[in-house]
């Protein structure tokens, strides 16, 4: 794990140096001093390259003369007058991505520019966050990696004028990064290692941070009538679990109704009897990314001691074909008492969420509900990996989530709900069917979930099927698990349920 520290904005004598540069190749205060010391070498290097100081653009100068630096990386911030927190998060990430050599330690100098609209301390803190997020790797099962294949950077010193402010700003962001790391680890684990019982154990570890964790087993869920969740699980030898995680950080009002996050935790999804095609089925280990995001968000909130009451509820199952597995055509009774005809056993996530949503409302009477799930392939077709789908019964809640996602660049795109779509899941032999056909597949899945939301409850559903895992490197993450939703949920709580300074 990358270790981050802060220091005054001075030019280091050795190791690697990353220096921020504004558009039009404009150097900041320390950059100008260094350029003068080097006889204009920085200016000449920029002029002889395509580097202009545009946002996230980088230029590497190896072993610059007249210094003991191993390398000097220039990273662009664009127009300082248009800077914001998200930009500097990307700047820190771009800096780490450029340091792919043998340097074990580097200094990232967040330079001063007269027109910079963001406080230098905050800019430095956000850059440190971006560096941590981009430095994540999941290599635990690679036993034959060569030394030059492993990330060398272990220590990053972020240098800036406002060191104390940067440290204070970074403290909660560091805890959010911890939550992101946990979620990425969980999504990356193979299904023979991570199944309902072991995933529940990871959630239970949050008790060390003051989170109250309760785990329901199969017998307890049967008593509660959770036929939807249990029906998905009945084909697997791995028994299901339902986990609740309570963070009561608003000490002045611990009895206040909590915000509630619900996550789909299908630790492996074969499709059940409605078996998926074999090609790419290995990717179905990350069908629990919604649950991982909830666990990661609760860790982030508890880690930074958020002044809010938040509950996470995750339904954990494995969807397998066997002689005991649920069949298409079966009719089950959910915890709400409503009945469902199973059209496709591969439409299992909504079944898990149906009972988890109902249980969350019955037990916690939350002020709002937000569920996250890798729910439909249709959302991937519609949005690829650029946005997650957003469905809700409340405009204000939608706006709050959308703004939170925009702030941390975990973007959402709202889809409609309505009676015409709801009719597509009507059923002649049960209260509803679990699949509405190919048309509007993501919408009918959301309509199904809405039938388990009590009248008057504020609810939003995030379909993260396209954003939870990426097959290419992104600005803030390497290819693989993204932990999409952790930072969004944390920011959603910070912006709307905590009375404190924005960070």
What element of type H or E holds 21?
Answer: strand 14-22
CA–CA separation, 223 and 203 (whole Å): 23
Backbone region of residue 78 per phi and psi (left: phi > 0; alpha: psi in -120 to 50; beta: other values): left
CA–CA separation, 236 and 322 (whole Å): 7
Give the phi and the psi of residue 31 in degrees, each rounded to 5.
-65, -40
Handedness of CA 400, 406, 410, 413 (dihedral sign): positive
The DSSP annotation for 180-204 comes to: HHHHHHHHHS-TTT--HHHHHHHHH
Closest CA to 197 of 220, 178, 216: 216
Active-site entry in 33, 55, 161, 276: 276
Active-site entry in 25, 184, 304, 350: 350
> 338 burial class (0-12, 13-18, 19+ CB within 10 angstroms)?
middle
> What would the two tokens of residue 359 be?
């249980």
What element of type H or E holds 384?
Answer: none
Backbone region of residue 82 per phi and psi (left: phi > 0; alpha: psi in -120 to 50; beta: other values): alpha
Closest CA to 233 of 328, 315, 170: 315
CA–CA separation, 491 and 503 (whole Å): 9
How many Cα neighbours within 13 Å face the side chain of 447?
A: 22
Active-site residue 134, yes or no? no
How many Cα neighbours within 13 Å face the side chain of 315?
A: 28
Give the phi and the psi of residue 148 in degrees, each rounded to 5.
-80, -5
The C-alpha angle with vertex 185 and arms to 184 and 187, in degrees rounded to 5, equals 65
Active-site residue 33, yes or no? no
Active site residues per annotation: 276, 350
């Amino acid at each position: 794990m990358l270790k981050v520290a802060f220091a005054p904005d001075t030019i280091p004598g050795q190791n690697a140096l990353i220096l921020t540069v504004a558009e039009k190749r404009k150097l900041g205060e320390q950059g100008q001093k260094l350029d003068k010391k080097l006889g204009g070498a920085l200016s000449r290097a920029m002029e002889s390259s395509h580097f202009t100081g545009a946002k996230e653009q980088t230029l590497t100068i190896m072993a610059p003369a007249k210094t003991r630096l191993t390398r000097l990386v220039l990273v662009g911030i664009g127009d300082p007058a248009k800077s914001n927190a998200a930009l500097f998060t990307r700047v820190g990430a771009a800096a780490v991505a450029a340091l792919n050599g043998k340097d074990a330690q580097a200094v990232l100098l967040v330079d001063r520019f007269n027109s910079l609209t963001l406080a230098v301390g905050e800019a430095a803190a956000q850059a440190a966050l971006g560096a941590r997020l981009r430095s994540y790797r999941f290599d635990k099962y690679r036993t034959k990696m060569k030394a030059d294949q492993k990330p060398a950077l272990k220590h990053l010193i972020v240098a800036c004028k406002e060191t104390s402010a940067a440290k204070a700003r970074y403290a909660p962001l560091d805890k959010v990064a911890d939550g992101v790391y946990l979620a990425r680890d969980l999504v990356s684990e193979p299904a023979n290692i991570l199944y309902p019982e072991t995933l529940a154990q990871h959630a239970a570890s949050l008790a060390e941070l003051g989170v109250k964790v309760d785990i329901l087993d199969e017998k307890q869920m049967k008593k509660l009538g959770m036929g939807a969740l249990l029906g998905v699980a009945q084909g697997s030898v791995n028994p299901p679990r339902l986990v609740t995680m309570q963070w009561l950080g608003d000490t002045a009002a611990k009895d206040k109704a909590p915000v509630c996050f619900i996550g789909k935790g299908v630790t492996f999804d074969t499709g059940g009897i409605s078996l998926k095609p074999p090609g790419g089925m290995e990717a179905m280990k990350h069908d629990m990314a919604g649950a991982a995001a909830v666990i990661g968000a609760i860790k982030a909130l508890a880690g930074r001691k958020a002044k809010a009451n938040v509950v996470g509820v995750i339904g954990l199952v494995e969807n397998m074909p066997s002689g005991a597995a649920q069949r298409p055509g079966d009719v089950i009774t959910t915890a709400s008492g409503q009945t469902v005809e199973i059209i496709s056993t591969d439409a299992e996530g909504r079944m898990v969420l149906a009972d988890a949503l109902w249980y969350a409302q019955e037990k916690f009477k939350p002020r709002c509900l937000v569920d996250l799930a890798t729910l439909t392939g249709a959302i991937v077709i519609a949005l690829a990996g650029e946005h997650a789908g957003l469905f809700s019964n409340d405009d204000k809640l939608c706006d709050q989530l959308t703004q939170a996602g925009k702030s941390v660049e975990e973007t959402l795109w709202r889809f409609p709900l309505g009676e015409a779509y709801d009719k597509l899941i009507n059923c002649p032999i049960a209260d509803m069917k679990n699949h509405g056909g190919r048309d509007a597949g993501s919408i009918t899945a959301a309509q199904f979930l809405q039938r388990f939301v009590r009248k008057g409850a504020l609810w939003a559903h995030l379909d993260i099927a396209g954003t939870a895992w990426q097959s290419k490197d992104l600005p803030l993450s390497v290819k693989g698990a993204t932990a999409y939703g952790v930072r969004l949920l944390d920011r959603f709580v910070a912006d709307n349920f905590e009375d404190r300074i924005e960070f």
